[in-house]
Structure 1
Amino acid sequence: MEETIAADYLVVGAGAMGMAFVDTLITDSTKTVVVVDRYARPGGHWTTAYPFVHLHQPAEWYGVNSKRLETEGIEEFGWNKGLVGGSSRDEVCAYFEEVMKKTFLASGRVRYFPKSDYVGEGEFRSIITGKTYRVGKDTCIVDATYSQTVVPSMRPPPYEVAREVEIVTPNDLPGISRGYANYTVVGAGKTGMDACLWLLENGIDASHITWIRPRESLLLERDAFQPGPEFATKSYAFVKGIMESIMVASSLEDVLKHLVAAQVLLQVDESVAPTMFHCGTVSRLEFEALKQIKSVIRKGRVTRVTPEEVILNNGSYKPVPDTLYIDCSASAIPQVAPVPVFQDHKIILQPVRYCQQTFSAAMIAHVEATYDDEQLKNELCGPVPMPHEPIDFPVVMLQTNLNALGWHRQPKTVAWLSQCRLDYTRYLGMSVPEDAEQKVTYQVQRIMGLEASCKKIQGLINKLPEKDAAKMNAQLRASL
């Protein structure tokens, strides 16, 4: 049995980016949309994430543009004490469900098909009934799954585990029914950090935690990404620190050295050269707590775990008897090659500002609803690859700033940004002056600053060996 559905857009994936795209599209146009998702409820990876995960950024600028993700102001307890609330997994999932029901479906222009697999070529099938649906040839297909977000609960550990070994994902950690002599966290990313912090918060002494960290990570201080006048000085110093680090640097590596020296970027262990940067954020309280864990294994990735031995790429060690392993080795957002966002009757959702997925999806929807010329749309939405290594930071900054310069040349986009709650730059640093003449001066200075930083980073890229420079420049041209 097959049913044909008339719709202007078919959005594959009801995760955070898919939801943000649909929200802006139906707000800024009269288009009709079909949303297809394999999960039973909207929210994407949030629906399978571990129960103690929280937003690593303020809820103020997360979610969809038309509806605020509610928070309770400044947090008074926990690792985020003194900072703006970061919503929990359950709060985010409830938020996306409400948006789907009360905004999307209530509009009469969105149809939602949960528990359905997208087959391709405009066709999708219900996982439960097997019924097949198809949209027309003129329907634009929006791929909201390109980033391929993966959390540990989605797959088994990517290493061999002996039957006698006790291992859980972070999802199962709150359900453990006894104490262990040792808790070994496998993974150096933000999920691993969250698992370590959960253990510390629940009374496990740092001396009973082993942390397998194949790589050392550079981190962003969450205190610098906060809305409100009480945080303006800190956030302005952060923005200024980035600009100054870029302008005085003699190489891309030198940019990183200045960023670390200015504490724009943090590293838990300053004695080990960092080789990873995934946009992870930590509060100062979290940062200091993570430093308490001294049993750190740096012998590469795990290949096999037995009760007597943990084998890694670069060696092995004997674990403490009665160890519980917590697998946090999923890469969250894998590194995928950037491709043009707009491709005839297809849109591939990707970040167009570094580390800001929901804002990026909303921006792409705004551009789609506002402009007709595909070349212009791609120029405004150059994909910003997810950074993986520290050297990626200045490069994603360059593409982010190039996009921003394009936005500032378009009056319609400038007007949209001025009302966009997902645009965190509206909340950081110095506020835009009210006086018309001063506002013009402010915008001119901002554009000049963006242009100067772009020119400097591009110059540093061109100083690289020819092969490396060509690779980075190719990524920057991926939108064309």
Structure 2
Amino acid sequence: MGIATQRIGAALMRRPTETNMSEHILEADYVIVGAGAVGMAMADTLAAETAASIVILDRRARPGGHWNDAYPFVRLHGPSVTYGVNSTPLGNGRIDAVGLNAGLNELASGAEICAYFERVMQERLLPSGRVTWLPLHEVGEDGVAVSLVNGMRQRLVARRRWVDATQADTQVPATHGPRFKVAEGVTCLTPTELTRWRQPAAGHVIIGGGKTAMDTALWLLAHGVDPDTITWVRPRESWLLNRANVQPTEAFAVQTLTAIVAELEAARDADSLPDLYARLEAEQLLQRIDPTVQPTMYRCAIVSEAELGQLRRITRVVRMGHVQAIEPDRIVLDRGEIATTTRHVHVHCSAGGLPRGPAQAVFQGHRIVPQYVRRCSPAFSAAFIAHLEATLDDEQEKNALCEPVPVPEVPLDWLRMHLQTAKNQARWSQYPDLHDWFRSSRLENYTWLFSRPNVQADPTWKGLQTRLKAARDPALESMAILLRCEEGMQEVDDVASAMVSSASQPW
């Protein structure tokens, strides 16, 4: 069913070939291609901080990007308070009382996120009178938007810039089918199709090692599936972030700052990359499902300790590389094969996730390409880039303030992301107006940690601040050395010297 669904979707996405349809011209200051989290965060900030007119278009019927295509049980990995757009809170600020996220800030569901972005569009952006929304449209390199419903063509003209928010269009199983062969008679479902499957299974086979696979495993366990009947084809082990340390709200202030300090102290004291990961794991800053297997993947995935405990219940883990084909009686992998049957349900969880293209300049003349400017922070990064567009004129200056932070893939990217984020923050610290914007930004959840009122007399807080200041610069120097040792990159020296020599604020 998954493959058929994808083929139908691909057919629907093809642009009409008719050339005799009338072509209208639609002009605005900005044309934003993509209405996912990045496109919406950009539009929200531009609408709030400028008088610009904006056209937003997307091939989907509703704003929200890949959340419209995701499986029904998907939730944010991190707290709702860190996601969305600057103007509108996501969620109710609730701390979950039950479930695997109990005791931590709430996690919005996929349905809640889609409803949230629809509300932002209908109640904030469109009522401004300066935003035009084109759902179910595709645009080509010629700048012509084509309706996927009636074939109507509109030539889009951006007086200032085009914003390409499609770089962040996450690949999910419902839209990106398996890259392995599936023989006739084999049941291979997407996670969405799994929730609708009503036939008994001899067992379940989860294919993939990322967060979608983890979510699927948790869903099966929550619905009473015996973990001994689950086979998990996990080509790579991943380092995972501990959700308890990613809680930037008042109730968790000490806990969050403690984690930041521990992270820097681990980096400062590490004498090798394995030693760094061992220290981070010992402090429960990084986690892995199987403590006996060295991770070769890191993608900013976040889990709670309760979720980790559940995932460890599945012990039938296959580490023989990627699946090449599923036959009626066997699964063929890179380094061997395992038995299966036509009575097993195989779940495709191996879509690519967030695309990982080469870094490029964010501001490119008539074009903006939003990318991470702080580690693991797509919504904040987009809002920040829009703020620079709204307040600064010099393109070189804007690019210097938002050098792209790499989208992570491998464990070494933990270092790369930290170093580039620190380099960006050092530059931001030279702009008092940016600090003011951070303090007022809903998506910047950490600046307040260093300026909380009525905490100066708190000895615990004061001690953490002292440790932070003592660890920060040595930690960054150590990270740069470790990265240079791994990559042999001389330019890492320049990154380290730029960061340490800057009179940067701790934020």
Instruction: Give the Å deviation of 1:133.
Output: 1.7
Task: Give me the whole-angstrom Cα distance separating, in 2, the residues matched to 1:395 and 1:40.
Answer: 37
* TM alignment of 1:362-373, pairs within 5 A: 362-373=383-394
Correspondence for 1:378 among 391, 399, 406: 399
Task: Give me the whole-angstrom Cα distance separating, in 2, the residues matched to 1:471 and 1:167.
Answer: 47
Task: Give me the whole-angstrom Cα distance separating, in 1, the residues matched to 2:376 and 2:457.
Answer: 33
* TM alignment of 1:137-216, pairs within 5 A: 138-216=159-237
Instruction: Give the Å deviation of 1:149.
Output: 1.3
Residues 367-394 of structure 1, C-alpha deviations (whole Å, 9 max, x = no match): 1111111111011111111111111101
Give the secondary structure class of the aligned counterpart of 2:24: strand
- Is 1:38 the counterpart of 2:45 in the alignment? no
Instruction: Give the Å deviation of 1:155.
Output: 2.2
Instruction: Give the Å deviation of 1:61.
Output: 1.6
Residues 288-334 of structure 1, C-alpha deviations (whole Å, 9 max, x = no match): 00000010000000001112111100111112662101100012113
- Is 1:389 the counterpart of 2:410 in the alignment? yes
Instruction: Give the Å deviation of 1:450.
Output: 5.0
Residues 212-258 of structure 1, C-alpha deviations (whole Å, 9 max, x = no match): 00000100011111244442333222111210111112234432232
- Equivalent pairs counted in the alignment come to 472
Task: Give me the whole-angstrom Cα distance separating, in 2, the residues matched to 1:2 and 1:238.
Answer: 56
Correspondence for 1:126 among 127, 147, 151: 147
- Is 1:328 the counterpart of 2:333 in the alignment? no
- What residue identity is the alignment partner of 2:485? K
- Is 1:7 the counterpart of 2:28 in the alignment? yes
Instruction: Give the Å deviation of 1:470.
Output: 5.8
- What residue identity is the alignment partner of 1:47? N
Instruction: Give the Å deviation of 1:174.
Output: 1.2
Task: Give me the whole-angstrom Cα distance separating, in 2, the residues matched to 1:407 and 1:42.
Answer: 31
Partner of 1:104: 125
Unaligned runs of 5+ residues in structure 2 are 1-21, 497-507
- Is 1:272 the counterpart of 2:290 in the alignment? no
Task: Give me the whole-angstrom Cα distance separating, in 1, the residues matched to 2:394 and 2:139.
Answer: 28
* TM alignment of 1:70-85, pairs within 5 A: 70-71=91-92, 73-85=94-106
Correspondence for 1:455 among 449, 464, 477: 477
Q: 1:443 to 1:11 in 2, by over 3 A?
A: farther
Partner of 1:47: 68
The two structures have a TM-score, normalised by structure 1, of 0.92
Task: Give me the whole-angstrom Cα distance separating, in 2, the residues matched to 1:220 and 1:382.
Answer: 24
Q: 1:475 to 1:15 in 2, by over 3 A?
A: farther
The two structures have a TM-score, normalised by structure 2, of 0.88
Q: 1:103 to 1:178 in 2, by over 3 A?
A: same
State whether residues 33 and 111 of structure 1, in contact with CA within 8 Å, keep that contact through their aligned partners in structure 2. Answer: yes
Task: Give me the whole-angstrom Cα distance separating, in 2, the residues matched to 1:437 and 1:222.
Answer: 28
Task: Give me the whole-angstrom Cα distance separating, in 1, the residues matched to 2:408 and 2:414.
Answer: 6
Q: 1:127 to 1:240 in 2, by over 3 A?
A: same
Give the secondary structure class of the aligned counterpart of 1:139: strand
State whether residues 268 and 471 of structure 2, in contact with CA within 8 Å, keep that contact through their aligned partners in structure 1. Answer: no
Q: 1:41 to 1:55 in 2, by over 3 A?
A: same
Question: Deviating runs (4+, > 6 A) in structure 1?
Answer: 435-439, 442-448, 471-476
Task: Give me the whole-angstrom Cα distance separating, in 2, the residues matched to 1:399 and 1:355.
Answer: 12
Query: Does 115-124 or 358-367 show the bigger shift?
Result: 115-124
Query: Does 115-124 or 142-151 show the bigger shift?
Result: 115-124
State whether residues 216 and 275 of structure 1, in contact with CA within 8 Å, keep that contact through their aligned partners in structure 2. Answer: yes
Partner of 1:414: 435
Q: 1:462 to 1:322 in 2, by over 3 A?
A: same
User: RMSD over aligned Cα, in angstroms?
Assistant: 2.6
State whether residues 23 and 155 of structure 2, in contact with CA within 8 Å, keep that contact through their aligned partners in structure 1. Answer: yes
Partner of 1:239: 260
Q: 1:131 to 1:235 in 2, by over 3 A?
A: same
State whether residues 173 and 191 of structure 2, in contact with CA within 8 Å, keep that contact through their aligned partners in structure 1. Answer: yes
Instruction: Give the Å deviation of 1:459.
Output: 2.8
Q: 1:50 to 1:276 in 2, by over 3 A?
A: same
- What residue identity is the alignment partner of 1:454? L
Partner of 1:254: 275
Q: 1:313 to 1:321 in 2, by over 3 A?
A: same
State whether residues 261 and 471 of structure 2, in contact with CA within 8 Å, keep that contact through their aligned partners in structure 1. Answer: no
Unaligned runs of 5+ residues in structure 1 are none
Partner of 2:334: 313
